Chains A and B, each alone.
Chain A
């Protein structure tokens, strides 16, 4: 029994930077996140054999897909990898059934039909067998793409921005559906590429953060989101408030950090070697009436607002020394201007970073 462990250590020179990554992925869903053009999709293409790295090694359990020093580069058709492309890449001149049977080889036509039929049932496309891709909705197309791949029983499944081609209102439904299909019918390793943090958090177990072809951080999604290690990592996962910190010292069970003219109390946490920044998510900045028991309670002035559908981005100056962005529910925005309302930077929500 194999455990579908994928080991990747590759370099490849790209137009504007060098892709140089080294990671290991086990069963479950792992997300590669990063801004557009950071080498995410290129990594998937190298895994599938559609692009050749300059050097390194790719292996799945004991199968070697690519190894530069012994000149092994297995062809895509022999890697048994499932790949769902960004635009699904359904063959427009083939029906749903023909698309799904396309990857089945060496089987009798009856066997193929039966397998395709079973898969069509599983992804709830029954009745659409004879339709052409252009006659399907975005969600149906995605299910055909998934079915076409899963029916070949791949040991590794690669999903390249699976939701970017979809309308906002169907995205959530389809995410749930994707999770359902994967949970019920797929037991291997899944690697998902996205630039959407929310999506990554909802779908993945583990995350790998990419920037300019390098891995910035990787690990369990909770750790990566709540304890980014570097300024780059914090930026990629969408932390809007990053500011320099001058000193960190122990103060009882807390740490005291100087940022601007402020001294901030934060919860004890591993201090990065070259700590020079702090961060807090916009959603974690709170506002409350002044009292004596709360740590990190400061005066502030409002410098700007940007109203969204549900929440407003409020830019505040804290004690005239620190500029932060807070995300406040629209109905609470007015209460910020009341007297003796202060801003709270909860000690448990602040994290230390190094800029490296």
Chain B
């Protein structure tokens, strides 16, 4: 490892963050939709638990995940025996850690975006003969897209930068589960300042580029929509 820089952590970080964000989108949007539709106490309780990862220290969160998915737990054992899936100390574990820390941002943004839609638009669509699912696709998603895109951006950034939860669940096995933030810490401990500088720069540049792209996308998709 004298001259060449090992870019594995960079690729792993992006793979983990992208997968986690995609999962967060697929899981988070329906949750946000149903939270927005039901305003009862149960929705509030669910909302509280879903917001917890924002407040909890990532190491605490990571510890919970470790307990939940570890070999000692029945869930972890079942996943391993029945589906041959190991969570702890694998890239899958990194994805789960990133998903859990990032999904609250997406749910929060999407929920408030859904709540911001004038209910009479939905009523108009109902009276015009559309099904709820069709209304979700043709009215709700397009109108909430700005808020959802903001949520995607935030949750992607959070997933990309996670250190504590990922370290607890996935560890820091070089070339296997060592993500960018962990690699930076690792290089710093090893006293390799040059490597730290390069990794930090790469991370910053790529993050800026991704955020910029998402922002552009968000603007484009919002054409024709009033402010």
The chain A residues found within 8 Å of chain B, CB to CB, are 45, 48-50, 75-83, 85-87, 89, 91-95, 102-103, 105, 132-134, 148-149, 152
Contacts and interface: CB of A to CB of B under 8 A. Distances in A.
B84 interface: no
A149 B128 CA distance: 7
Given A93-B224, A102-B125, A77 B120 contact: no
B225 A83 contact: no
Chain A CB within 10 Å — which of B128, B131, B139, B143 has the most? B128
A267 to B, nearest CB: 47
A101 B143 CA distance: 18
A132 to B, nearest CB: 5
Chain B CB within 10 Å — which of A86, A92, A149 has the most? A92
Contacts of B124: 83, 85, 89, 91
Contacts of B125: 91, 102
Contacts of A82: 127
B120 A103 contact: no
Contacts of B127: 48-50, 76-77, 79, 81-83
A19 B124 CA distance: 23
B222 to A, nearest CB: 8
Nearest to B227: A134
Given A50-B126, A76-B126, A81-B127, A87 B118 contact: yes
A105 B125 CA distance: 12
B204 interface: no
A93 B225 contact: yes
A81 B127 CA distance: 7
Contacts of A78: 129
Interface in B115-162: 118, 120-121, 123-131, 138-139, 142-143
Interface residues of B, number: 19
20 contacts: A48-B123, A50-B126, A50-B127, A76-B126, A76-B127, A77-B127, A81-B127, A85-B123, A86-B120, A89-B123, A91-B124, A91-B139, A92-B224, A92-B225, A93-B225, A94-B224, A102-B125, A132-B224, A133-B226, A148-B128
Given A89-B118, A89-B124, A93-B225, A152 B129 contact: yes
Given A83-B123, A134-B226, A93 B128 contact: no
A226 to B, nearest CB: 36
- SS class, residues of chain A in contact with chain B: loop
Nearest to B131: A77
B200 to A, nearest CB: 40
A45 to B, nearest CB: 8
Given A50-B123, A83-B124, A102-B125, A92 B130 contact: no
A77 B124 CA distance: 10
A102 B129 CA distance: 9
Contacts of B139: 91
B143 to A, nearest CB: 6
A152 B128 contact: yes
Chain A CB within 10 Å — which of B121, B130, B138, B143 has the most? B121
A109 to B, nearest CB: 15
Contacts of A91: 121, 124-125, 139
Nearest to B124: A89
Contacts of A81: 127
Contacts of B224: 92-95, 132
Given A48-B127, A92-B225, A87 B120 contact: yes
Contacts of A134: 226
B120 A92 contact: no
Interface in B49-97: none
Contact of B130 (A48, A77, A93): A77
A103 B128 contact: yes
A92 B225 CA distance: 6
Top 10 A-B residue pairs of the complex, sorted by shortest distance between their CB atoms: A103-B128, A89-B124, A89-B120, A77-B129, A76-B126, A134-B226, A83-B127, A85-B120, A93-B225, A93-B142
